Amino acid sequence: MKNVGLTTTIPVEVLYAAGVIPIDLNNIFVTSNKGKEYIEKSEMEGFPRNLCSWIKGLFSVALDNNIDQIIGVCEGDCSNTEALLEVWRMKGLHVVPFGFPRNRNIDSIKNEINRLMEVFNVSIRKVDGVKRELHYIRERIKYLDELTWKYDKATGFENHLWQVCCSDFNGDYNKFSHDLEAIISVIEARESRKNEIRLGYIGVPPIFTDIYDLIEGYGGRVVYNEVQRAFSMSGFDICDSIYDMYLNYTYPYGIDFRLEDIKNQIELRNLDGIIHYVQAFCYKGIEDIVVKNKLDVPVLTIEGDLPGQVDARTRLRIESFIDMLKDYRL
C-alpha cells in the first residue's frame, strides 16, 4: 500500500478510507536515534541553521523512509511548511497542500476536506464509516487521559505518547487499538499516585526525549497535554460530522481559541502550574506573551532546539519551578 506522510494532524479518516497508510513524519523523527543526523542532512541540502529543527527533520525523514506522497498543512500549523513542500516537490515527491482556514468557517473547512477526498477518490459515506470505527479508539484514549488526571495512575509520558500517536494511529488503527487495550490494563492495575505537583504541558509536543521522566523525578507530573489531547480528537460525539470535528479541533486556529480550552482544563484537572514549550525559531513563541497575560496559574516557558535530552539550564529551571509550586501548597 501507498505510504502517505503527514506534516501534522489532518483528517486521517480520509486516508484510511482510501486504503493508504498514513505516517506522521514527526513521530518518526522524534523517536528515531538519527534525529541529529536527519538535521545535518537537511543542512547539507541548504536548509539554514537558524531554522526550526522539526522542519529540517521532516525533510530528511520523508526522503529516508519510503514515503510515496506527502500531505503538508500550509495553513494552521508551521509557517515554513509551504516552502518545505516546494523543496520536496523539487526532489520528486508528490505533495498535497491542506489547510485549516484562519477564518474557522464551516464552509471553508468543508471545501478543504472535500478537496482531500477528491484527491484520494473517496466518498463522504466511506469517510464517515472510518470515523465511526475510530470513535471507539478515541473514546478509549479519552479513558487513558482520565487514568492520568482523574485516577492518577498513568504517567505524563504515557498520556503524551498515546494521544500524540492518534495523528496516524501508527499506520494501523486495528493494531493500535489492540496495543492500547494492553497498556490500559497495565495502568489500571497500578495504585493511584498522590501528592505530586499537577502540571499542564501546553504548546507543540517536545523535541526533548526525557522531559516527562525529568518532571516526575522532581516531584511533578503532567496530567494535561494540550496539543496532544487535541490530536486525539477524543472530545467529540459519534454523530458529529467530520467537518464539525475538524472545525472545533483547537490546535490550528490561534491562541485565543486554544486558551478557552486550556482554561477549562486547568480548572477541571486542578492544575498547580503550566509548562509552556516553544520550539526555537518558531513564530509560535510569540504567543507566550498572550499565554502569560491570560492564564491565572504560574507558567514556566521553556525552549527546545535539537532532539535529545533536556539541557542542564532547562533542567534547573524545571526543578526550581516545581519547588516553587511545592512552596505554594504549604
Within a domain: 206? no
Domain count for the chain: 1
User: What's the pLDDT tens digit per position in 97-155?
Assistant: 999 998 899 999 999 999 999 999 999 999 999 999 999 999 999 999 999 999 999 99
Give the span between the Cα atoms of 220 and 197, in whole angstroms: 4
Within a domain: 81? yes
DSSP characters for 36-52? Answer: HHHHHHHHHTT--TTS-
Whole-prediction pTM value?
0.95
Within a domain: 143? no
Within a domain: 100? yes
Torsion region of 190: left, alpha or beta (phi above 0 gives left; psi -120 to 50 gives alpha): beta
Within a domain: 131? no
Within a domain: 55? yes
CATH code: domain of residue 31: 3.40.50.11890
CA distances to 4, 108, 127 from 120, rounded to whole Å, are: 11, 19, 11
Strands 3-6 and 21-24 come out as: parallel
Within a domain: 154? no
Within a domain: 114? yes
Strands 220-225 and 273-279 come out as: unpaired
Q: Which of 195, 194, 202, 196 is nearest to 274 (CA)?
A: 202
Residue-range definition of the domain harbouring residue 14: 3-119
Q: Is the pLDDT of residue 1 over 80?
A: no
User: What's the pLDDT tens digit per position in 207-236?
Assistant: 999 999 999 999 999 999 999 999 999 989
Residue type, 267: E
